[in-house]
Structure 1
Amino acid sequence: MSINYRGSGLCGNKQTHLLSFNTVLSTGLFSKTSCYFILIQEPKTWSEAQTHCRQYHFDLATIQSDEDRFKIQEIATSMNFQNRAWMGFYDGVFAWRWSYQDKNLGYTNWDTLEDTTSRTQRMCGVIRNTGKWHAASCDEPKPFFCYDSFIGGKFIINLAKLSWSDAQRHCRSKNIDLSTINDIIENGIVTTILKLGLITEAWIGLSKNLWLWSDQSKVTWLSVNWADGQPDNADGNEKCGFVNETGLIGDEACSHTLPFFCTKYVKIQIVRFAVKSSGLLNESAVMEAIEKKMNQILGDQQVDIESNITWRVQPDGQIFQRQERDT
């Protein structure tokens, strides 16, 4: 009979490493990535905070889910923090632009009573069969106009009801882009197409990106929770986002100095192995040899200093599990 011992070590580092020992019978590696927030209480401007997070961690924190807000609350409670802190939300291009070539608007035909200045959600443009433009939630399903200078002219109506983003993807894959309207003549052509097709309204290539995340995460507007009265743009130049101790967000002038939350990602790799021994295994000696070898591998690969090795304890309190099998 021979005796096999199975164990697993936990290695937190950014690269994949496998051990090679004469005594190792088999190895397995399992990886997972965890993220968490870090509160830095040294006040900085929003740009300074962003630079710090990107240099030492990952980026300013993205907070747009109940889980994210709960993490903020946990940190604030544990550190007795009752203040505002920067996070990764910032005012992007606060202007309407055309999807095609990201052009500024040279011609507009907004309805007289249309509010195009909302700062709390991303808006997209529709044209109605009256010829007037209106702002709508980009998530609403509507027909849309594609632009293509080669087939069928510049304005191709598609009756499939899609969100603005899905319509944009469709036009870019099948044609060129969502349609741009440059003057009153083109506006009249589009209006005529709607009337002839008995269509009330359709997307055109008009949108306004409001708030964006520093780490380029997609903004999920339904999950963005503003504090009461926010955003208020109180001093007329509040283009950066803060989070309070409850996880709710607001706007503030980017030049103000506040503490800030960073996001950090940690890659954890679990290495499992089997060691063959003709007698009783000296666990401490094997563990010492394995740790020495893994530290050597990490050093050779110049993995950052935060990498470390820990051992996973089994439910019975042991590191290794003994298994018997026929020779």
Structure 2
Amino acid sequence: MDMDSPALLLLLMSAVTWSVMARSPHQYHFVSEEKSWTDAQALCREQFTDLATVESEQDVGRLLQLAGDHGHSGEVWIGLYQDVQSWTWSLNQAAFYGEGEMGYSNWGHDQPDNYRDADDPECCIEMKDEGKGYMWNDIPCKFNRHFICYDGNSDSLILSNGTLSWEDAQRYCRTHHTDLASVRNESEQQQVSAILRASTWIGLYRDCLLFRWSDQSGSPFRNWSSSSPSPWGNCAAVDVTRGGDWYDRSCDLLKPFVCYDVPKVTHMQTMRVELKTDSQKDMSDPAVQAAILQQIEKRLREKGLPAGAKLKWREQEDGQIFSKKTEKKGMKKRSKRRSDEL
């Protein structure tokens, strides 16, 4: 500010308040109404944040305490689940695929059905003749099938003579060629179908032991029982009576469940400031007040004010922002704190 032009200066005193929104640990909510995992997820997302994410032993203890407080014994749903649609190609190099090609599919009737027998989930894909051409079908990876490799050096497809399990076929293709073949579009679907003579492995699969959280958080914490995860369920439940061990269950089962939300906590701090300006400025003008506040905020940012903090003027008892004291130019200046030392 130009301090030399006016003969009369105003010493302005006011206070600035800033607030920072912080997040406290997850707050759990027990819902006694029994629902399937999918319906429980929908209710949690509607009324809270999501089905419970459990990130530590301390969270397990809090969840058990909550269930006990509601008199519940047995299992409750939490937000961990297996995404049965998480299909991916064995040759998983993004540059190999054009736009939309990693998502191309040619499923047979009612496929993938993710059927689980007594021992094995269906996590690998064969191309199977269904009378109207070769379609995609999910089956257990342990089955022996012919397989088709892709060779990147010759940009060609190689059909096997013998049969192997999916994992052994993948190992063979990676050793002798590039990988199991990907089918990226309708043209390649027809190209592959033209050389097949029986049910044949392609490179599509999913990790049948990979579980993720409903809120898509990356927490790696798990508390599985010694028998889990198993081939029999895609959704995780906590057994309250067994120390909080987790079990994978069929998502269609009806169980109570635990939701969570994240309460927002506002931390507020007030700072008193002294400013010097010329007497010609209308300090009751909101535009002037906003400009000064912007300058203060810039200084505070440079000195470490959190990015999420919001500043505002605090009104005094008379409804004014500033109180003022006048002093004539040339008078002995009294000691004061400089605003740029805040």
Same fold (TM over 0.5): no
TM-score (norm 2): 0.42
For the pair shown, which has the larger CA radius of gyration, 1 or 2? 2
TM-score calculated relative to the size of structure 1: 0.44
Higher relative contact order structure (alpha carbons within 8 Å, sequence separation ≥ 6): 1
